[in-house]
Structure 1
Amino acid sequence: MKLGPFKSGYVSVIGRPNVGKSTLINQVLKQKLSIVSHKPQTTRHQILAIHSTENGQMVFIDTPGIHNQKGTALNKHLNQTAQSSSHGVEVVLFLVEAMKWTDEDLRAAKVVQQSTAKKILVVNKVDKIKNKEQLIPFVEKILNDFEFDGIHYVSALKNKQIEPLVDVIFNHFPAGEPIFDEDQISDRSTRFFITELIREQLMERFHQELPYSVTVNLESYEVKGLIHHIHAVIWVERKNQKGIIIGKQGEAIKQIGVNARQEIQKFIEAKVNLKLWVKVQSSWTDDIKAIEALGYNDEYK
């Protein structure tokens, strides 16, 4: 039932790596839009996730986690992307993990405080805390150093207290027309999400063996009849990384292909023929031109 004027606005979700930003947004949309894994810095691109209801439209900005890791051009790009997302929005969600505070949380909190938007402290993974009274001094310490317009406790993974958070966000929005079409769920293309779903499988299988120097590009995407034919290249920095991904007698990359194909079929709701190749581009994570060529820029769709 429609209540009051239609509202719309942007919400930036900021926090350190692996704190649950993408999981939270996926729960709001009730759809897997951002890839997730146990590996920090899984999210590398700024993604707009669009949640439309009859009462309003909420555009989430899912960003890479703000981190202290230095050195490569890719790391600098990820931090710059996350930091820029706190400007020009109506609401900033600062996501922290219950009972855990690191130097990266501190760095992210300072970025949040620079925003002129309404700021909500969101404490995630509260389901893991048996004695909820422990949360009181944890939150009080954060509030002693930083200012927020509200506090909310959630379990993104278990989809607890997500709807009340959505209501709080809408309360901070001004009346306004929809920003995007009501049936649109992101500003990114299908091709983009296909590469992300392939990369997700790589992160899941090789989160111990491979560092962050792996990315995916589509070489071709054709629809013939009822089948979507997809050819993708997995880029790594060193030959030994290529060997790890291919595996003994090609078994590893074969399984990656099977798992990725299943996820892609769920996403596009169609049959998929997926072929994967692994190629080496030395030190691409520290080469600005290579980073841009592989899709790491704000205009990439």
Structure 2
Amino acid sequence: MRDSDIEGANATPDVHHVDYISTLREFNSSSTPEVVAQGQHDLVVSLWDKLYQHFDSAPDAIRKDMSFHVFVLQETNYEILSIALEHKLAHDLASLRSEVAVDIQHRINSVIKRWFISQSIFVFLFGIDVVKCRFALNALLDLRKLCPEVDIVSLYLRFEKTKPSTDTKRPEKDRLKIAITHFSQTAWPAKRKANKKANRKIETAPEPILPVESLLVKSAAPTQTDLSHFASGDRAEAYNYDGQDWHIGSHDDDDDDDDNDDNTSDSSPIKKKSQQRTPRTKALLFRKRPLTAQSRHLA
């Protein structure tokens, strides 16, 4: 290789170095109070585009394997950087302010205040999805409390060292989680375990099975009940179903018609539905009386 080629190769980086350094100085000098007050944002945006082009065209020897994000974090004035990013990320910032919940917006404001950055810088570094993540916001707040010596440049350098996800389904917040847990293992909030008791089905007690004798089956029964098969010395209870309700009748051995026991089916005093039932008649309604041998014979 000729000496002239070496000199030419050495001269080229110097030209690029001068270009992006001069642009950087011009960009930072535009952050005067007059520029900010008068709203000369077009000048700031044009210098931002020029700075990016000069930095991107500079060789690796000049950039020292530094990304543009790290470069602007380390070299630019954050006040003027925020103005440039407000225009470059206007769509994302508008959706962020209109879509996120109020509590998320409060967390975002707390994060940018404690990390000494603006909302536009926050979105520029980590993306809109990370900024909306509640876990990421809480982790950034906790990391600032646990490790106050970690600044935004150190955090982003660690964020860049994590490999980007090749799986499109994997959220970008996983990279931030790795970066945060590098400084503090407890900063990232742990996921709450599902409550197993809440997922269990409530077991209800089975309904009690009533004894067969306590149930009255409304079957096709005659309208009048024959009481002649009961013994003369016993009290007879008879159940009669007239199509609307059950009635109870009684036959005592002291009745005047003892001589006409064979015809008691027509003359037995059946208790009417309209009459008030006494506690004794209610008890007799659910009383099971076994049949005697004589009654079985008569039946």
Q: Same fold (TM over 0.5)?
A: no
The higher radius of gyration belongs to 2
- Higher strand content, 1 or 2: 1
Q: Give the TM-score normalised by structure 1.
A: 0.17
